[in-house]
């Protein structure tokens, strides 16, 4: 395989075709084709979550917030497929990253956490979905819980790499500091919320109206586009808080799992 030098991140712009206002058009031909991917790196994030870096020579690029379909094929021909959010920002490098929880009894996540090693080959298809995507064109208020932070981190990384000045803020909920995914990367744009255990001096409790009040009371010009990702219960709770605080329903995008 021959690789060419990638352009610097600040020079790379992801494809942003708008089919309808607020929704990015997905190229059906590209998204429908399976591509070979090689696992190149594994990084531990928390006791239950790791990031898996994949080299995908034919990757067409993505917009932060999109996801892909992943396929594993056993020697006997048995296949398993799962949807996973993209954790990496678009950079034109031919590499993408996924961050996966180790789900008890999980067929695909179990393989990644227990069996996979650099050099292993899998297949991916995507990028998929344009509804939850954020190309960096409007102020973004990101709310995530647990592994729901994954697609939101793609947005944060894109914001940093491109040096964007559009406002972006993230509130991320975790049971304790040891379960906060990407803790080493989080910066001043992020407010952590700990529901069971917190460092000394920090409160413990669910995401509340008090966390959102300072942001929604003084929204940036044009208002926020809110992105919510997490379990069903978190998505319902967070979206209700947003609506109660005055966030327009049509400007709340939700991605949920479980």
d(CA 256, CA 132): 11
Chain-wide mean pLDDT for the chain? 90
In this prediction, residue 209 carries a pLDDT of 97
Looking at per-residue pLDDT, the higher value among 32 and 46 belongs to 46
- State how far the Cα of 187 lies from the Cα of 167, in Å rounded to an integer: 14
pLDDT digits (tens, 9 = 90+) for 125-137: 999 989 999 999 9
- Least confident stretch, 8-22, 104-118, 164-178: 8-22
C-beta separation of 148 from 230 below 8 A: yes
Separation CA 207–CA 194 (nearest Å): 8
% of the chain exceeding 70 in pLDDT = 90
The DSSP bridge pattern shows strands 18-20 and 23-24 to be antiparallel
Residue with tokens 């509130």: 171
In the sheet where 140-145 sits, what is the strand order? Answer: 190-194, 168-174, 140-145, 225-231, 252-257
If you average pLDDT over residues 212-227, what whole number do you get?
95
127 cis-preceded (ω within 30 degrees of 0) = yes
Q: Is 140-257 in CATH node 3.40.50.80?
A: yes
Q: Where in the chain is the domain with CATH 2.40.30.10?
A: 25-128
For position 24, what pLDDT does the model report?
Answer: 67
126 half-sphere exposure, CB direction, 13 A CA radius: 25
At 1, the pLDDT band (50, 70, 90 cuts) reads very low
36 contacts: CB under 8 Å, gap ≥ 6: 56, 57, 58, 121, 122, 123
Residue 28 pLDDT class (50, 70, 90 cuts):
confident
What pLDDT does 99 receive? 98
Q: Which of 27-31, 35-39, 113-117 has the lowest mean pLDDT?
A: 27-31
pLDDT digits (tens, 9 = 90+) for 230-253: 999 999 999 999 999 999 999 999
Would you place residue 31 in the very low, low, confident or very high pLDDT band (cuts 50, 70, 90)?
A: confident
Q: Return the CATH number of 25-128, one of 3.20.20.220, 2.40.30.10, 3.20.10.10, 1.10.472.50.
A: 2.40.30.10
Q: Report how far residue 194's alpha carbon sits from residue 177's, in angstroms, rounded to the nearest whole number.
A: 7
């Amino acid at each position: 395989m021959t690789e060419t030098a990638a352009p610097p991140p600040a020079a790379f712009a992801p494809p942003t075709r708008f089919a309808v206002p607020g929704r990015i058009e997905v190229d059906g031909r590209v998204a429908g084709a399976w591509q070979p991917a090689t696992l190149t790196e594994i990084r531990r994030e928390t006791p239950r979550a790791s990031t898996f870096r994949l080299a995908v020579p034919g990757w067409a690029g993505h917009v932060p917030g999109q996801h892909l379909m992943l396929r594993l094929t056993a020697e006997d021909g048995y296949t398993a497929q799962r949807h996973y959010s993209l954790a990496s920002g678009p950079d034109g490098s031919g590499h993408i990253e996924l961050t996966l929880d180790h789900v008890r009894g999980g067929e695909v996540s179990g393989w990644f956490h227990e069996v996979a090693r650099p050099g292993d080959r899998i297949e991916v298809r995507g990028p998929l979905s344009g509804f939850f995507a954020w190309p960096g064109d409007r102020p973004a208020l990101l709310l995530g819980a647990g592994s729901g932070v994954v697609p939101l981190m793609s947005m944060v990384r894109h914001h940093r790499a491109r040096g964007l000045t559009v406002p972006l803020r993230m509130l991320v909920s975790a049971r304790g500091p040891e379960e906060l995914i990407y803790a080493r990367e989080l910066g001043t744009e992020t407010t952590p919320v700990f529901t069971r255990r917190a460092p000394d001096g920090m409160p413990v409790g669910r995401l509340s109206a008090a966390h959102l009040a300072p942001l929604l009371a003084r929204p940036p010009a044009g208002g926020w586009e809110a992105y919510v990702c997490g379990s069903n219960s978190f998505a319902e709770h967070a979206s209700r808080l947003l609506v109660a605080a005055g966030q327009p329903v049509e400007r709340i995008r939700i991605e949920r799992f479980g």
